[in-house]
Structure 1
Amino acid sequence: MKAEQHSSFRLQCIVFALVSASFTNVYITQPVLPVLQNEFSVDMVLVSFSVSAVILGIALSNLPFGVLVDRVAIQPIILNGGLMVVLGGLLCSFTENFWFFLGGRFLQGLFIPCLTTCLAAYLAKTLPLERLSVVMGSYVSATVLGGLSGRLLGGWIHPPLHWRYAFVSAALLTLVATVVAVRGLPRATSREGKQPDLTGFIELLKRWDLLRMYFCAMGSFAIFSSVFNYLPYRLIADPFAFSTESITLLYLVYVVGIFIGPISGRLSNRFGSGQTLLLGSGFLGGALLLILLPFLPAVIVGLLGVCGGFFTIHAAAVGSLNRKLRSGQGRANALYVMFYYLGGWLGITGSGFVYKQGGWSWLVLGLLLLLLIPIGVAVVEYGRDRQIAVRS
């Protein structure tokens, strides 16, 4: 029994380290977007591509890797993916050309799913169902720590050294985590046995119970990514006039997600995904109203609420998705992450134009309209949960 617990804890540590290191690369430029804008002499919308190019790459490559992970062992996928993410990061750290810089970011995005989406499918196929929601909550927590670590690297290393050193640090972390994962992850043994999984993408997309989770992910991440991507521009302007280091400090609110992920998984197990999604949507809506106010305490509390609400929605949605599956975990998780990151890409890109034309208030009002998507999904899920409870 102790040996089994030790093995389980070791697996979770490996997963947490790999996912955290992977997500360190995604948002590394976010707190220094105004700095990059000045250094490369580009406008606000174009410099935001240093984040959205990674997100777009993740969205585009999820489906191919979703197919691959259902057929190939996880170890070679992680090894090759990790090396390409490291290569892209090193390119970003050395190039002086903005388009090469964006190319390196896009390359990282294309191969990050090897370390994240493929790993989620591996967990779905190897872990007992009763543990899956809690473990997926821990997986979400690892994405939180990685996202926070990347922002801290980018915002605190500049200006004492330079933002380019942050890319080198992230590349080293990714390389170490990749090697540890390749050596430490056991071979997958599917719950369904060794029969080939023939579940297709079209079959999965025809399932409304899965499709609504995809749209929930898309809408909620569009909101979340837009808030934190344009936060530096809000905070360098009046009445705040923050420095890069001060802006980076506010990203510490992101740590809330580390605790919310597992809690959301447990709430979904106890009360159902519908009530959990409604709770998260309510927090997110109230938080968006708070960050409209020109007062620092309101902004801090609002950002905490944005993180708490979003990660409640995200963890509940991904846990609900995997509980609905009996096959095709790789493809289903790939579709989830594709919708999730397409939402982030569309949110960041569209919000850039809105912010440029109308400022912070128009941006937040647009995000409140997007909140209708997760609210609608939550209502449907709540009704489904009630029907199941009545039948029981």
Structure 2
Amino acid sequence: MSSQPQLRLQFIVFALVAASFTNIYITQPVLPVLQNEFAADAVTVSYSVAAVILGIALANMPFGALVVALAGLLCAITDNLGLLIGARFVQGLFIPALTTCLAAFLARTLPSERLSVVMGSYVSATVIGGLGGRLLGGWIHPPLHWRYAFVFAAVWILIAGLIALLALPREERHHDQQKQQPSYWEIIKRWDPLRIYLVSCGSFFVFSSVFNYLPFRLEAPPSSLATEWITLLYLTYLMGVFIGPMAGKLSNRFGSAISMISGTLVLAFSMSLTLLSSIIAMVLALLGVCAGFFALHAAAVGTLNQRVTSGQGRANALYVLLYYLGGWIGITVCGLIYEQAGWNGAVMVCLGMLLIPLMIGITEQRCPNR
């Protein structure tokens, strides 16, 4: 493929992934605002993020951008919190149709020596989308209202989806190859991909919990930050743009196990820093949380697609299932802990969860192919 068509393809894929992920985290920086507007508790309004994550976890189905956009517009006009959460769940059901197949496509078409680096770039595209949604929700709210963020995201994903539909190349399918695809059960019962799924589940449990309850932590004393300043701290999410590709290169050079172990240790240390009341410490902590998490995520998804030689589509669908299921469980469990024991209690739960990727990283180092 020549450079110009390749750049065009990368741009289309990047725009579609970014537009999809923009819809996921729109309400995250304005959760305290939703709490006051709908007269609900912190756990209930957090379901406006958890519901879309649960929907993504449950659905890897061939639907389109139209439903995501329409559900987003419904979120923009409803005055019922239950309906907003339900519409967010519907968005989550349809987002995998726009993103999950891309990872499988890359795995089928790229040589193995480039796969880790390219998967790291794919992770970077999810970073831009995730950050864009947070900035959109948080920065639109002060001058206008958070509802306008949903309208903008709906228009964006409609445009990106239409461009992708018209311009992406069609992949030839071979029936003889499809007959050889392993089943979901055959993939997940193997210990080597299963432990990668557990890494993704445990790490996103921690990451989603930190960023979901961050607004409540920073709005309360002693920080007492306004929504726009809380949103500004989400810029630390940009760390993932650099860490994703870098983690892929480090995995190629030193092995994925080293990336997993080092990512877990950085993530754990950074989680501990969030216990301090200093804003400077919080900024450094969030930078470290992003660096550690995206190192884990890029190493895990790269390792999975190198290890699974057939059935990459199903293998990546299972990865997405466990990844987002971990995020939904994390938001739900840490929300209950946050209500009872505050931020310190939620951090302790997250530190305990990080034992999973740490132990699996050590296992990978000792016996990577067993």
Report the TM-score, using the length of structure 2 for normalisation: 0.97
Distance 1:98 1:325, change over 3 A: same
- The aligned counterpart of 1:41 is 39
- The aligned counterpart of 1:229 is 212
- The aligned counterpart of 1:70 is none
2:39 is equivalent to residue 56 of structure 1: no
- The aligned counterpart of 2:108 is 125
Give 1:189 shift.
Answer: 4.3
Distance 1:131 1:8, change over 3 A: farther
* Contact 1:148 1:254 survives alignment (8 Å): yes
2:300 is equivalent to residue 317 of structure 1: yes
For residue 340 of structure 1, the aligned residue among 323, 330, 333 is 323
Distance 1:191 1:9, change over 3 A: farther
For residue 6 of structure 2, the aligned residue among 5, 8, 15 is 8
Give 1:8 shift.
Answer: 2.2
Question: d(CA) in 2 for partners of 1:269 and 1:103?
Answer: 42
Q: Deviations over 1:229-249 (max 9, x none)?
A: 000010011110000000000
Distance 1:336 1:175, change over 3 A: same
Question: d(CA) in 1 for partners of 2:29 and 2:277?
Answer: 20
- The aligned counterpart of 1:90 is 73
Question: d(CA) in 2 for partners of 1:233 and 1:27?
Answer: 15
Q: Which runs of 4+ in 1 moved over 4 A?
A: 189-195
Question: d(CA) in 1 for partners of 2:144 and 2:354?
Answer: 39
* Contact 1:125 1:191 survives alignment (8 Å): no
- The aligned counterpart of 1:170 is 153
Aligned length: 370
Q: Deviations over 1:340-369 (max 9, x none)?
A: 001000000000010110011111111110
- The aligned counterpart of 2:201 is 218
Give 1:192 shift.
Answer: 10
2:188 is equivalent to residue 205 of structure 1: yes
* Contact 1:125 1:189 survives alignment (8 Å): no
Give 1:133 shift.
Answer: 1.4
Q: Deviations over 1:206-231 (max 9, x none)?
A: 11000000000000000000000000
Q: Deviations over 1:312-340 (max 9, x none)?
A: 00000000000001111111101001000
Distance 1:154 1:106, change over 3 A: same
- The aligned counterpart of 1:257 is 240
Give 1:7 shift.
Answer: 2.4
Question: d(CA) in 1 for partners of 2:44 and 2:215?
Answer: 15
Question: d(CA) in 2 for partners of 1:171 and 1:102?
Answer: 16
Give 1:53 shift.
Answer: 0.2
Counterpart of 2:146, as a letter, is W
Question: d(CA) in 2 for partners of 1:197 and 1:265?
Answer: 29
Report the TM-score, using the length of structure 1 for normalisation: 0.91
- The aligned counterpart of 1:74 is none
- The aligned counterpart of 2:25 is 27
Q: Deviations over 1:34-78 (max 9, x none)?
A: 11111111111111000000000000113xx3xxxxxxxxxxx4x
- The aligned counterpart of 1:278 is 261
Secondary structure, aligned partner of 1:116: helix
- The aligned counterpart of 1:18 is 16
Q: Deviations over 1:273-323 (max 9, x none)?
A: 001111111110110111111111111100000000000000000000000
Distance 1:193 1:312, change over 3 A: farther
For residue 222 of structure 2, the aligned residue among 239, 251, 258 is 239
Secondary structure, aligned partner of 2:64: helix
Q: CA RMSD in A?
A: 1.6
Q: Deviations over 1:81-112 (max 9, x none)?
A: 21111111011011111111111101100000
Secondary structure, aligned partner of 2:321: helix
Question: d(CA) in 1 for partners of 2:85 and 2:180?
Answer: 36
* Contact 1:199 1:328 survives alignment (8 Å): yes
* Contact 1:126 1:190 survives alignment (8 Å): no
Identity over the aligned pairs, expressed in percent? Answer: 59
* Contact 1:254 1:307 survives alignment (8 Å): yes
Counterpart of 2:14, as a letter, is F
Distance 1:112 1:351, change over 3 A: same
Question: d(CA) in 1 for partners of 2:175 and 2:129?
Answer: 32
Q: What 5-or-longer segments of structure 2 have no aligned partner?
A: none
Give 1:191 shift.
Answer: 10
